[in-house]
């Protein structure tokens, strides 16, 4: 029998982080180079004790370009080039999430974004607006090989980086794949396991491989 339970994450009040967290992060940023801070972060990735969770948050604040209040960083979350990543207030990062940014790119994640376990973001040019839910196992891809010239192995050809944007109030289903250059319009739903190859208009439900429009919301 179906059961409806009250919303939790989406309505939870965002709490301001304690002053010592901000001060400690600034101290680490001032005194340690980024490689040292990344090594320290890795020491605290394997456990969800309150202390380990707190240290992950403090260290990630020292690493990111910007970092909001009340962010949850679960165990085994990892990053490449966190200095290009901006995290808003109330972001949740599930276990084993991996955000692979790029040294000359950008990754902007808004307020109240829920990112499920085992997600992978090729975040070379990625924007996720406020109040987005991203299901476990979702993959967001931001680049692809040109394949030219054709006499070279594809893996040796240049990369094209194509910006991806997920607009506010969207819901991305478990194990969905969003391909380079795609924009998901505001208020849209991407079904579980969908492969999104082109833009989705606002307030639209898509599903399938490749994803097709099911209906408007």
Number of other CB atoms surrounding residue 174 within 10 Å: 17
**Quick one: CA torsion of 50, 174, 170, 66, rounded to 10 degrees?**
40
- Pick the catalytic residue: 27, 81, 103, 145? 145
**pLDDT score for 1:** 87
**Pairing between β-strand 133-134 and β-strand 171-172 as defined by DSSP bridges:** parallel
- Counting Cα atoms < 13 Å in the Cβ hemisphere of 60 gives 30
**Residue 197 in contact with residue 207, Cβ under 8 Å?**
no
pLDDT of 71-96, one tens digit each?
999 999 999 999 999 999 999 999 99
Identify any residues that bridge with 100 across adjacent strands, giving them in sequence order: 80, 122
pLDDT of 1-14, one tens digit each?
889 998 889 898 99
pLDDT of 131-183, one tens digit each?
999 999 999 999 999 999 999 999 999 999 999 999 999 999 999 999 999 99
Beta strands in 49-119 (DSSP E): 66-67, 72-73, 78-80, 85-87, 92-93, 98-109, 114-115
27 is catalytic: no
- Please give the structure tokens belonging to residue 71: 């962010």
Residue located via tokens 């997600």:
119
Alpha-carbon span 173 to 171, nearest angstrom: 6
Alpha-carbon span 101 to 81, nearest angstrom: 5
pLDDT of 179-206, one tens digit each?
999 999 999 999 999 999 999 999 999 9
């Amino acid at each position: 029998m179906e059961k409806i339970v009250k919303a939790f994450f989406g309505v939870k009040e965002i709490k301001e982080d304690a002053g010592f967290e901000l001060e400690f992060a600034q101290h680490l940023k001032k005194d340690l180079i980024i490689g040292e801070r990344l090594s320290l972060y890795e020491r605290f990735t394997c456990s969800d004790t309150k202390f380990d969770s707190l240290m992950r948050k403090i260290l990630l604040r020292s690493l990111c370009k910007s970092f909001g209040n009340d962010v949850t960083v679960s165990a085994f979350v990892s990053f490449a080039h966190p200095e290009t990543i901006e995290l808003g207030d109330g972001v949740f990062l599930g276990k084993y999430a991996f955000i692979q940014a790029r040294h000359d790119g950008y990754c902007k994640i808004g307020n109240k974004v829920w990112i499920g376990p085992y997600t992978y973001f090729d975040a070379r040019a990625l924007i996720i607006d406020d109040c987005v839910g991203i299901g476990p196992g979702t993959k967001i891809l931001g680049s692809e090989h040109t394949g030219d010239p054709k006499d070279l192995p594809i893996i040796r050809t240049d990369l094209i980086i194509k910006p991806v944007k997920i607009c506010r109030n969207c819901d991305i289903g478990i194990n969905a794949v969003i391909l380079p250059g795609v924009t998901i319009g505001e208020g849209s739903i991407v079904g579980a396991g969908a492969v999104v190859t082109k833009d989705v208009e606002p307030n639209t439900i898509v599903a399938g491989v490749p994803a097709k429009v099911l209906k408007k919301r």
